[in-house]
């Protein structure tokens, strides 16, 4: 009888700890909160970019990718990003998709322009640079050499 009580207490403790981990994961997840604004950008290619990817400015994370859709008229990828409202973004900002590292995922990097007008919530970044496929780049490098005889 004593062993059953100990097993029940240990099982309940494991469930409580698991519940705390789930609560912590949701509390610390990167969601556009009340202080975030949504901006969009259109890209021809977004190879490897996923929802939840970081949006950085000068190497500092200022937001996350909240949604990726296909524009059925232009066949471009429409990327929605939640960024911090405390960071003003000029209208002539350039957005590009780059690899985080050789093994890492893709991130959206914002390069601010010099325009005095700032993007409004729901605004769109028009200057974009598509993702460069690592396999295509490697294939170009491997097969671009000319054999001299």
Ordered mean pLDDT values, 10 residues apiece, the chain (149 residues): 83 92 74 72 91 92 94 94 92 92 84 91 92 79 67
How far is residue 134's CA from residue 148's CA, in Å, rounded to a whole number? 27
6 shares its domain with 54: no
In a domain, 145, yes or no: no
What is the per-residue pLDDT for 28?
Answer: 66
107 shares its domain with 54: yes
Structural domain harbouring 5: 1-30
Q: How many domains does the chain have?
A: 2
72 shares its domain with 124: yes
50 shares its domain with 84: yes
22 shares its domain with 40: no
In a domain, 144, yes or no: no
Q: Look up the pTM and report it.
A: 0.70
In a domain, 147, yes or no: no
Instruction: Report the run of H or E that residue 55 belongs to, with start and end.
Output: strand 54-57
CA within 13 Å, CB half, 31: 7
Dihedral angle sign, alpha carbons of residues 24, 29, 33, 35: positive
75 shares its domain with 121: yes
131 shares its domain with 88: yes
What is the per-residue pLDDT for 146?
Answer: 56
How far is residue 106's CA from residue 101's CA, in Å, rounded to a whole number? 8
How far is residue 99's CA from residue 109's CA, in Å, rounded to a whole number? 10
23 shares its domain with 47: no
Pairing assessment for the beta strands 94-99 and 127-129 based on DSSP bridges: parallel
**Residue 88, SS3 per DSSP:** coil
17 shares its domain with 62: no
In a domain, 57, yes or no: yes
């Amino acid at each position: 009888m004593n062993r059953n009580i100990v097993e029940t207490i240990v099982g309940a403790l494991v469930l409580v700890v698991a519940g705390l981990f789930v609560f912590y994961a949701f509390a610390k997840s990167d969601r556009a909160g009340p202080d975030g604004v949504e901006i969009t950008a259109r890209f021809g290619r977004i190879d490897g970019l996923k929802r939840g990817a970081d949006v950085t400015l000068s190497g500092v994370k200022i937001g996350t990718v909240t949604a990726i859709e296909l524009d059925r008229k232009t066949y471009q990828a429409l990327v929605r990003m939640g960024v911090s409202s405390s960071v003003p973004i000029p209208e002539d900002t350039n957005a590009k998709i780059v690899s985080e590292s050789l093994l890492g995922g893709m991130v959206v990097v914002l390069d601010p322009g010099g325009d005095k007008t700032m993007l409004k919530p729901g605004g769109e970044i028009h200057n974009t640079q598509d993702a460069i496929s690592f396999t295509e780049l490697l294939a170009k490098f491997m097969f671009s050499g000319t054999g001299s005889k």
